[in-house]
Amino acid sequence: MTPNQWLAIGFMAAAAMCALVTAVILLREARYRTLEARVLTAVNGTTPDYRTMRLGGLGGFLHSIGERVLKSSRIYSEKDVAGIESMIAVSGFNPRRVLPIVLGGKIVLTVLIPAAAVFYCYFASPTAMTRAVVISVSIPVGLLGPDWVLAALRRPYTAALQRGVIDALDLLVVCSEAGLGLESALERVTQEMLHSNRPTANALGGLLDEIRVLPDRREAFANFAKRSGVDGMQRLATMLAQSLQYGTPLGQALRAVAVELRRQRMIKLEERAAKLPAKLVLPLILFIMPCLLIVLVGSSFLRLFDMLGAITN
């Protein structure tokens, strides 16, 4: 290979390494989602600051770029930043800590990956079709790479919230009927669900913190519904706000929401079960039917071939 081709390969490898490290930074943030991980890091004498992470200073570099982007409104408007912040919150991260990392990663990848594609097309001298494909693929990869990582992390988080919202409602019903107030019930449910469903416990813990800090509880419920991104949590927040506004019994409202969510879950399971035969048609034709034909008809064909061979000989 020529030196120019080696230079293009090295530049593309550097861009790929930067993309990988950006993904690793976002993945490592998942370790600090829970309160337990933050307490452990505080006990060990370390803090989850990206400027001190063992990534060769790249975490702090991305963080500084993201802070500069936040201070300037030329690249991202306030609406775009709010959309990215809500997407980070729905993924289960702390938006104030992860938002600069995501913005810095988007800026760096937007520059490096298309530049690596251009270097490759200039030095490696591929065909015109290859150039068009490489350049057209590099642009969306550079722009949407951190978003894809967040989307991959969002799926298990939202799935855990959907699984735990009904159990949380049942526990809130028990706590409210036992005479506990809203804050005491949320604190107790958060402690009980910390070992069974950490994302749900963290979401309820965040709601409890905002209720204690914010002067208006309705604002805390609205932030909780926006941050969770799950239909069950949004209904819980709406029900709590309405119960606070109209003075309805908390236990009765919680029980009604839990029954409705459980009914909806059963309906979704029935829909998935009804779709199962149609989804099994293709695997049945491709994998099961050939095996059945071989087992049932294979011996007959072998005997037929033996008889035809004996007749011809």
Do residues 215 and 257 share a domain? Answer: yes
Asked if residue 280 is part of any domain, the answer here is no
Q: What pLDDT score was predicted for residue 50?
A: 37
Would you state the pLDDT for residue 289? 85
DSSP 309: H
Same domain, 229 and 167: yes
CB 101 within 8 A of CB 42: no
Please, how many CA atoms are within 13 Å of residue 19, restricted to the half-sphere of its CB? Answer: 23
DSSP codes, 158-197: HHHHHHHHHHHHHHHHHHHHTT--HHHHHHHHHHHHTTT-
The closest of 33, 17, 60 to 154, measured between CA atoms, is: 33
Task: Give a yes or no: residue 51 inside a domain.
Answer: yes
C-alpha to C-alpha distance for 240 and 217, rounded to whole angstroms: 9
Taking the C-alpha atoms of residue 204 and residue 213, their distance in angstroms, rounded to an integer, is 14
Residue 130 one-letter amino acid = T
Q: Cα–Cα distance between 78 and 311 in angstroms, integer?
A: 86
Q: Is residue 194 part of a domain?
A: yes
Is 309 part of any domain?
no
Residue 36's pLDDT is what?
46
Residues 70 and 175 in one domain: no
Buried b (16+ CB within 10 A) or exposed e, 211-227: beeeeebeebbbbbbeb
Using CA atoms, how far apart are residues 159 and 112, in angstroms rounded to an integer?
A: 34
Q: For residue 263, give every residue at least 6 positions away whose Cβ sits within 8 Å of its Cβ, in sequence order, or none.
A: none
Q: What predicted TM-score, i.e. pTM, was given to this entire model?
A: 0.63
In a domain, 281, yes or no: no
Q: Could you tell me if 121 and 171 lie in one domain?
A: no
Number of compact structural domains in the chain: 2
Q: Are residues 196 and 84 in the same domain?
A: no
Same-domain pairing of 110 and 13: yes
Residue 183 lies in domain:
159-275
Q: Are residues 7 and 64 in the same domain?
A: yes
Give me the average pLDDT of each 10-residue run along the chain (313 residues).
59 61 58 49 45 48 72 70 73 73 76 76 74 78 76 81 85 85 86 84 85 85 82 84 79 83 87 88 86 84 83 75
Same domain, 49 and 115: yes
Q: Within this chain, do residues 188 and 107 fall inside the same structural domain, yes or no?
A: no
Are residue 11 and residue 121 in the same domain, yes or no?
yes
DSSP string, 111-144: HHHHHHHHHHHHHS---HHHHHHHHHHHHHHHHH
| Separation in Å, CA 196 to CA 102, 200, 202, 228 | 30, 9, 12, 18
Does 120 share its domain with 41? yes
What is the predicted pLDDT for the residue at 234?
84
CA-closest candidate to residue 168, choices 222, 120, 130, 208: 208
Query: Domain for residue 301, yes or no?
Result: no
134-153 burial code (b ≥16 CB/10 A, e <16)? beeebeebbeebbeebbeeb
What pLDDT is attached to residue 28? Answer: 58
Identify the pLDDT of residue 48: 43
Same domain, 53 and 117: yes
Asked if residue 11 is part of any domain, the answer here is yes
Q: Say if 226 falls within a structural domain.
A: yes
